[in-house]
A = this chain, B = another copy of it.
Amino acid sequence: MMITPVFLRMFPAMRVKITGLDPHQQYYIAMDIVPVDNKRYRYVYHSSKWMVAGNADSPVPPRVYIHPDSLASGDTWMRQVVSFDKLKLTNNELDDQGHIILHSMHKYQPRVHVIRKDFSSDLSPTKPVPSGDGVKTFNFPETVFTTVTAYQNQQITRLKIDRNPFAKGFRDSGRNRTGLEAIMETYAFWRPPVRTLTFEDFTTMQKQQGE
């Protein structure tokens, strides 16, 4: 499943800097993702815009991504940039891996929660985040995004190819090469054994020398 940010962010991963915690207090930090509205969307090419295309699909089980550095002291949290790059999304409503479940073609808002340890007794990926005095929740409207299963917009594709290390294979310099071609490039001067030199070899070599 892929994500198309509409107002940017979410890729690169959402990252936050935290201040104002009690350095000696213990905290969880967590993220969940809630629907922005009750609509389903479709992408209209000629206007390059998302348009309402009916009502939202039925709600899915709420999931919470508990940041893997949890539990940690306020001191520890404040000393680092907290990144959510390990958060995983799925459109499989039966997911049992604790991933965050979303509908495709819907608009979502990520939320960051800072939860005092002494306040929360049983934080779990499959339970809603508690609310109250010991919990602070943050919304960043610029991180709203629309989910897709295939990219709707070539600029998003290029952004992710250019920025995501794992998509390096699709960057321009690596394009249009089959597996074999890439390999033979490495062994540029290798020739198969038990072969005799033929006319083609000389012309090839001469061309390479001339370049």
Contact = CB atoms under 8 A, between A and B. Distances in A.
Contacts of A196: 198
Contacts of A205: none
A204 B194 contact: yes
Interface string A12-37: 00000000000000000000000000
Contacts of A200: 194-195
Interface string A159-201: 0000000000000000000001001000100111011101010
A89 interface: no
A71 B196 CA distance: 67
Nearest to A203: B194
A33 B90 CA distance: 43
Interface residues of A, number: 13
Identical copies of this chain, number:
2
A195 B187 CA distance: 17
B192 A192 contact: yes
Contacts of A198: 195-196
A26 to B, nearest CB: 10
Nearest to A71: B71
| Most chain B beta-carbon neighbours within 10 Å: one of A191, A200, A204 | A200
A109 B196 CA distance: 61
A196 to B, nearest CB: 6
List the 10 shortest-distance A-B pairs measured between CB atoms, nearest first.
Answer: A194-B200, A183-B183, A192-B192, A196-B198, A180-B187, A195-B198, A180-B190, A195-B200, A195-B195, A71-B71
12 contacts: A71-B71, A180-B187, A180-B190, A183-B183, A191-B192, A192-B192, A194-B200, A194-B204, A195-B195, A195-B198, A195-B200, A196-B198
Given A195-B195, A195-B200, 10 more contacts: A71-B71, A180-B187, A180-B190, A183-B183, A191-B192, A192-B192, A194-B200, A194-B204, A195-B198, A196-B198
